[in-house]
Amino acid sequence: MYYLVNRPGRARPGSCGQAVPGYTFRLVGEDGNDVPPREPGILAIHGPTLLHHYARRPEATRGALQGEWFLSGDMFRRDADGYYWFQGRKDDLLKVAGAWVSPAEVEAVLMGHAAVLECAVVGAPDELGTTRPKAFVVLRPDVTAGAGLPGEIIAFTKERLAPYKVPRWVEFVPELPKTSTGKTQRFKLRAGPSLASPSPPEGGRGEG
């Protein structure tokens, strides 16, 4: 992202940096209003080199351009020092208990568990129809998917995440669906259980 940079001697690892001179940013919600400080929002950009329109895509143009502001579709949070932290694409983020949840943040925690080789987090409805995080996990080759492992993984995340970010379910799959470039196809995981391995024994889903 050429309008965000980490400058020599002022880099903050993990962030995308600060604004390039000449560009102004806002973080907005779905209603177009600015979000509270340190809350994730859609990055809106004002600057000298923004696109004029999408070729032959008038609806996409209307959705992305609001006056002089370009809505990037990327979700960021901004810290008190003006550094921007990428949270994911808007379509991938989850709205849980009225708050945004970044799948990438939850996945980074899951990857810290010794049994996890790969993972992907998507939203799934609970028994009340409320969206909750659900983790699809590929285990390391030397790990056996015992009945207690989902609960162990969930407990691991509870020690490191806010309660509303903790996966409600952990489901083991032999592999994650990916594009030819290696990007996880979350829409296939959201579509249903067809890619999942057989359900674990009773109690193995690890309700949180």
pLDDT per residue over 146-160, tens digit each?
999 999 999 999 999
Please give the structure tokens belonging to residue 109: 């925690």
What residues contact residue 115 under an 8 Å CB cut-off, 6+ apart? Answer: 137, 139, 140, 143, 149, 152, 153
The verdict on residue 131 lying in a domain is yes
Amino acid at 140: R
The verdict on residue 105 lying in a domain is yes
pLDDT at 197: 38
The verdict on residue 102 lying in a domain is yes
DSSP percent split of the chain into helix, strand, coil, nearest 5: 20, 30, 50
Distances (CA, A) of 59 to 27, 31, 54, 55, 72: 22, 18, 9, 11, 15
Average per-residue pLDDT in the chain? 87
CATH code at 59? Answer: 2.30.38.10
Residue 106 and residue 79 share a domain: no
Q: What is the pTM of this model?
A: 0.70
Helix (H) or strand (E) holding 106: helix 103-110
Residue 83 and residue 121 share a domain: no
The verdict on residue 204 lying in a domain is no
What residues contact residue 137 under an 8 Å CB cut-off, 6+ apart? Answer: 110, 115, 116, 118, 119, 153, 170, 171, 172, 173
CATH code at 106? Answer: 3.30.300.30
The verdict on residue 112 lying in a domain is yes
The verdict on residue 203 lying in a domain is no
The verdict on residue 55 lying in a domain is yes
Residue 53 and residue 110 share a domain: no
Residue 57 and residue 111 share a domain: no
Please give the structure tokens belonging to residue 166: 């903790």
Helix (H) or strand (E) holding 149: helix 149-158
pLDDT at 135 over 70: yes
Last residue of a domain, one of 54, 73, 89: 89
Contact 14, 46 (CB under 8 A): no
Last residue of a domain, one of 70, 89, 108: 89
Q: Which domain does 166 fall in, by range?
A: 94-195
What gap in Å lies between CA 57 and CA 37, rounded to an integer?
33
Phi first, then psi, for residue 176 (nearest 5°) are: -100, 140
Last residue of a domain, one of 89, 109, 130: 89
Looking at the structure of the chain, the number of domains it has is: 2
Please give the structure tokens belonging to residue 155: 């407990």
pLDDT per residue over 53-109, tens digit each?
677 777 767 778 888 899 998 999 999 999 999 888 888 889 898 888 989 889 999
